[in-house]
Amino acid sequence: MTRAILWLCAALLLAGAGPARAEDGYDLWLRYRPLPAQARANRPVAIVARGTSSMMQAAADELSRGLGGLFATTVARADHAGDGAVVLARIGHDEAASLRALGPRLGDEGYVVRRITVAGRALIVVAANDDRGILYGSFALLRWLQTGHTLGAVALMSRPKVKLRVLDHWDNLNGSVERGYAGQSLWDWWMLPDVREPRYVDYARANASIGINGAVLNNVNASASSLTQRYIRKAAALADIFRPYGIKVYLSARFSAPIEIGHLSTADPNDPQVAAWWRAKADEIYAAIPDFGGFLVKASSEGQPGPQDYGRSHADGANMLAAALAPHGGVVMWRAFVYAHDNPEDRAKQAYDDFHPLDGRFADNVLVQVKNGPIDFQPREPFHPLFGAMPHTPLMIEFQITKEYLGFASHLVYLGPLFEETLRADTMAKGAGSTVAGMISGMAGVANVGRDRDWTGSIFNQANWYAFGRYAWDPTSASDAIAREWAAMTFAPDPAVVDRVARMMAGSREAAVDYMTPLGLAHLMGTDHHYGPAPWVSALARPEWNPVYYHRATADGIGFDRTASGSKAIAQYAPPVAQRLRDPATTPERELLWFHHLRWDYRMPSGHSLWEELVVHYDRGVAYVDQMRGDWTALKSNIDSERFEKTAALLGIQSREARWWRDASLAYWMSVNHLPLPPGVRAPAHDLAWYKAEDFPDAPGH
Ligand code: BDP
C-alpha cells in the first residue's frame, strides 16, 4: 500500500476519533506519535543494549520511548535478543559480527543500522565503533520510522563529515539572552547546580538526535564571572546532564579575566603570569569537568578586550589559551569576527586583513571561527573570503540560527537554503570544487533556544535548529530534503502535509531577502535592537554602524563599490572568483549591490532598470508571505489547533512586517533617487517621516 493511502486511512481514523490532540511544540521533532496501524505491523519486541555506559543507556531509553510511542505499545529493555529485538552493539560484538567489515568506514561517531539474522533470529542491529555512534544510530532509526519508512526496510549508514558540531548560546548569567527571541535563558544559573531541570535532558536529547556534540553555555560577550569557581560548578552540573548524550560543554572566555577575577595587573598573553593564570584556570575547570570542550573567544572585537590591547596578535592570544587547554585535550575556538572603530578600511575586509597573515601560526588545538559572510549574519552575504585563504589553519564556520536579522522569532524563514548557499559556495582556492563545506573542521550555530514552551519562539524556528544540526553532520546536505524530514517528524509523514510545508519553507528565506535587503543590499535594520527597516540612519558614531555606509544610495545610484575602483574587497577572493565579481554582468545578481555601486537606470538582464528590479523584488517578497499564509490555511485540518493557530498568528505578523519593510524602504529610496514608482505598483502606505518616527524601545533580544 502506498504511503499516501496509509495516511489517508490514518486521517480517516483520526477524524472518527474526534479533533487532533492539541500540542504546544515542546516535543519538537521527537513527538513519536503512533504510526498508522498498517505501518505498525512489524513491531519491535524488545531493546537489548550490549553495554552499560550512560550513553548506551540513553540510546536504549530513547528507543524504548520512541518505538513505544510510534508502535503504540511498550517496547521494554531486555537482556536476551529474541526474534524481532533491536540490539545496540559495538562493531566488535558477536551480534554485530556480520557488520564488522563496515567498521573502518564508520570511523568515530558513525553508525550502521541493519536488519540481520543472527543464529536464526531476525534482529535490527544498531552498531558503531563507539557508543556515541550507537546513540546517533538509534536516533537515525527513529527518524527513519518517523519519516514514514518501515522497520523491515531499514538499512542506514552514516558518519559525520564535520568533527565539531556546536551550538553557541549567547546567554548571560542574569538569564537574558543576547539576540534571543524565545524567552529567558534555558539555563537557570541561579538555581544551578542544585536544580537540574528535566528540560536540560530534553535539550540534550534534541541535540543528540541531530548530532550536535558541543554547547557553549554563555555569551561571546562574556562575563569573567562565568570562569569563577561558583559558575564552574554550575557548568559542571550541565556537563553531567549532557554527557550521556555526547555533548561537551564549552565556555566563552573573557580575555581580561586574569585582571577581573585573577587580580593581575595585565592580561597580556606574553606575560608568564597571565599564561600561568590560564593554566591554573584550565586545571580547575578540568577537575570539575573532565571532558570540558574548551573556550570560545571573542577578542579585540566590538570593544571586547583582547591581545591587540597589548600590541599582540590574535595568534598570540589564541595560542596562550591553547597551551593552557592542550594538556587536557581542549580546544580554542577563536572568532574572526573583528573590526575596529579606528580602522577606516571597508568593514567587510577587516577580518581577512587581520587573520590571513596569521595562517599557519596558530597552535594545533586552535580553530578559527569565521562567520558565514564577511560582515555580520545579514539576510544574504557572499561567503567569507577567509574560506580558502587559510589552508594551514583549521576553520569553523559560524551561522546564526537565532533570527536577529531575519524577522526575530515571528517570521517564517527557513535557514536551510542560507546554510546551503554558503556551504556550497566554491572558493576556487584549489581549483573548481573547493567548496566551503569541504574545508571546515567545525560548525557553530548561534542558538535560537530559550525558555519558551516551544523552545524557539515558533514551531518553524525549530526547523532551523534541526537543519543546523543536520548540516553540521553533513554540510553537503540538500535543504529541501532536510525540510521534508523535519516536516514529517514535526507534523506527520503525510505527503499532503510534507509537500506543502516544505514548499512554504523552500522559498521563505529568499522572500525575507526580497522584502528586507534585495539584490545584495545589507545592514539596513534599526539601530541597536535590529528590528525593522531603517536605511536612512546616518548619524551614529562609527561610520560602519550606519545603514547609509552599506547601501551608499545617492541620486545617481546605489550599492557598495568593492571593485578596484572602490574598497578592493573583491581582491580578497581567489583570482577566478574575483575575476567574476569584478564585472557587474558576471556577478551573481543576488550579490550585485554588495559588490557594485550602480546607476538606478543600470539595465538588468531582465530588461528592467535596477530601480524597477528592486521594486519587483520587494513585491515578490511580500507576495511570497501571502502565499505562505494561503498554504498554511489550507493545512488547517491536518495540523493540531494549537500549533496551527500560533503559526497563523505569526504569519499575520510577518505579512504586516514584510509590507512595512517594503514600504519604508521604497519611501526612503524614492526620497534619494526622486524616481516615480513603476506604473501599477502600490505606493507605500505612509510617508517617509512616518516610518522614521517609529520607535521600539522594548524590542526583545537586546
Ligand atoms: C552581532 C550581534 C551582537 C553580537 C555580535 C557577535 O548584533 O549582539 O555580539 O554579532 O557575533 O550580529 O559577536
Mean pLDDT of all residues belonging to the chain: 96
DSSP-assigned states of every residue in 389-440: T-TTS-EEEEEE-S-TTTTTTTS----HHHHHHHHH-B--BTBTT-BSGGG-
Q: What are phi and psi of 505, to 5 degrees?
A: -65, -40
Cβ(466)–Cβ(486) under 8 Å?
yes
Q: What class has domain 513-560+597-693? A: alpha beta
pLDDT on residue 7 = 52
Instruction: Quote the CA–CA distance of 443 and 472 in Å, as a whole number.
Output: 6
Catalytic sites, residue numbers: 302, 376, 404
Per-residue pLDDT tens over the stretch 114-167: 999 999 999 999 999 999 999 999 999 999 999 999 999 999 999 999 999 999
Q: Give pairs for 547-550: CB < 8 Å, separation 24+.
A: 547/523, 549/347, 549/523, 550/375, 550/521, 550/522, 550/523, 550/524
Site to substitute for ligand 1 among 375, 376, 396, 398, most atoms within 8 A of C-beta: 376
Å from CA of 605 to ligand 1 middle: 36
- Regarding the domain delimited by 32-158, which CATH topology (the fold level of the hierarchy) does it fall under? Chitobiase; domain 2 (3.30.379)
Q: Is the CB of 377 under 6 A from ligand 1?
A: yes
Per-residue pLDDT tens over the stretch 284-309: 999 999 999 999 999 999 999 999 99
Nearest CA to ligand 1 atom 9: 221
Weakest-pLDDT range from 37-46, 192-201, 278-287, 668-677: 37-46
Q: Is the CB of 299 under 6 A from ligand 1?
A: no
Q: What are phi and psi of 306, to 5 degrees?
A: -175, 180
Per-residue pLDDT tens over the stretch 480-492: 999 999 999 999 9
Q: Is the CB of 531 under 6 A from ligand 1?
A: no
Site to substitute for ligand 1 among 168, 171, 176, 179, most atoms within 8 A of C-beta: 179
Cβ(600)–Cβ(390) under 8 Å?
no
Residue ranges per structural domain of the chain: 32-158, 164-475, 513-560+597-693
Q: Which of 252, 177, 185, 251 is nearest to 220 (CA)?
A: 252
Report, as an integer, the average pLDDT of 167-188: 98
What pLDDT band is residue 264 in, cutting at 50, 70 and 90?
very high
pLDDT on residue 681 = 98
- Regarding the domain delimited by 164-475, which CATH topology (the fold level of the hierarchy) does it fall under? TIM Barrel (3.20.20)
Weakest-pLDDT range from 12-16, 97-101, 475-479, 557-561: 12-16
Q: Is the CB of 177 under 6 A from ligand 1?
A: no
Please state whether beta strands 294-297 and 331-335 pair in parallel, antiparallel, or not at all (unpaired). parallel
Per-residue pLDDT tens over the stretch 574-621: 999 999 999 999 999 999 999 999 999 999 999 999 999 999 999 999
Q: Is the CB of 281 under 6 A from ligand 1?
A: no
Å from CA of 352 to ligand 1 middle: 18
Per-residue pLDDT tens over the stretch 242-259: 999 999 999 999 999 999
Per-residue pLDDT tens over the stretch 102-111: 999 999 999 9
Q: Is the pTM of this model over 0.95?
A: yes
Instruction: Quote the CA–CA distance of 167 and 409 in Å, as a whole number.
Output: 18
